[in-house]
């Protein structure tokens, strides 16, 4: 019976989190009310407070719960580069397209915008979201680049800086535009593919070992 009750409690908590996320994304922290969250979750306001003591705890739980969105980046990086062979440009191109496609998802862009908007109000939360999410992807990428350098496929002294450069080349243009303009429909798939190819080309001119990338 206790196990069944725990299962119901977990499902109810998940139900509230899933209802609250779009409310926070749409209205921001200040504009979100617990009444609206309760209505969308189809529960009473008292039930919401049973699981979350106040709006701040609910908001914090939602943001930390979404760090899993970035977990797939580590697997993506490992799959693309761990067995990279002679055609590193092709493998990096595949990774770049997948990476950019994942980070340009509308909900993730709105979430990123929300965390940035509330960074002064919740500085520790913003830092934790970055460290547990995006920074883990960077660390995985730096490790992959270090292995590629050890195999003579990349020429670099600072794998972490190389990872920052690679991601910066990918994200600077489209993500910055999305942050200021709102939405995520400013680029077609062809546009994103072009940005990915250009980023890889510039990266390999800086870090590649082939004579034609020097």
Q: Which pLDDT belongs to residue 186?
A: 73
Q: Quote the tokens at residue 61.
A: 């739980």
Q: Which pLDDT belongs to residue 74?
A: 76
Burial readout 12-42 (b: 16 or more C-beta within 10 A, e: otherwise): bbebbbebbbebbbeeeeeebebeebbebbe
Superfamily of domain 68-213, CATH level 4: Tetracycline Repressor, domain 2 (1.10.357.10)
Q: Which pLDDT belongs to residue 187?
A: 81
CA 116/CA 122 separation, integer angstroms: 10
Q: What is the mean pLDDT of residues 113-133?
A: 89
pTM of the model: 0.81
Count CA atoms closer than 13 A to 167's CA, side-chain side: 22
Q: Which pLDDT belongs to residue 76?
A: 80
Contact (CB, 8 A) for 205 and 169: no
Residues of the chain with CATH 1.10.10.60: 2-52
Which CATH number is associated with domain 2-52? 1.10.10.60
Residues of the chain with CATH 1.10.357.10: 68-213
80 burial via Cβ count (<10 Å: 0-12, 13-18, 19+): buried
Q: Which pLDDT belongs to residue 181?
A: 81
Q: What is the mean pLDDT of residues 108-118?
A: 88
Q: What is the mean pLDDT of residues 74-87?
A: 78
């Amino acid at each position: 019976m206790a196990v069944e009750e725990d299962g119901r409690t977990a499902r109810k908590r998940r139900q509230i989190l899933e209802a609250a996320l779009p409310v926070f994304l749409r209205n921001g922290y200040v504009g979100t009310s617990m009444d609206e969250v309760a209505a969308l979750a189809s529960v009473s306001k008292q039930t919401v407070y049973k699981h979350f003591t106040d709006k701040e705890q609910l908001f914090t739980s939602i943001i930390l719960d979404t760090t899993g969105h970035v977990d797939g980046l580590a697997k993506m990086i490992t799959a693309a580069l761990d067995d990279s062979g002679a055609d590193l440009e092709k493998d990096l191109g595949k990774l770049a397209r997948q990476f950019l496609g994942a980070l340009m998802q509308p909900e993730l862009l709105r979430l990123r915008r929300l965390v940035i908007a509330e960074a002064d109000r919740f500085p520790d939360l913003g830092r934790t979201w970055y460290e547990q999410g995006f920074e883990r992807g960077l660390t995985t990428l730096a490790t992959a680049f270090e292995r590629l350098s050890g195999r003579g496929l990349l020429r670099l002294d600072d794998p972490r800086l190389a990872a920052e450069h690679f991601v910066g080349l990918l994200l600077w243009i489209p993500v910055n535009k999305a942050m200021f303009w709102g939405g995520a429909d400013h680029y077609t798939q062809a546009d994103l593919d072009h940005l990915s190819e250009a980023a890889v080309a510039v990266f390999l001119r800086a870090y590649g070992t082939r004579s034609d990338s020097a």
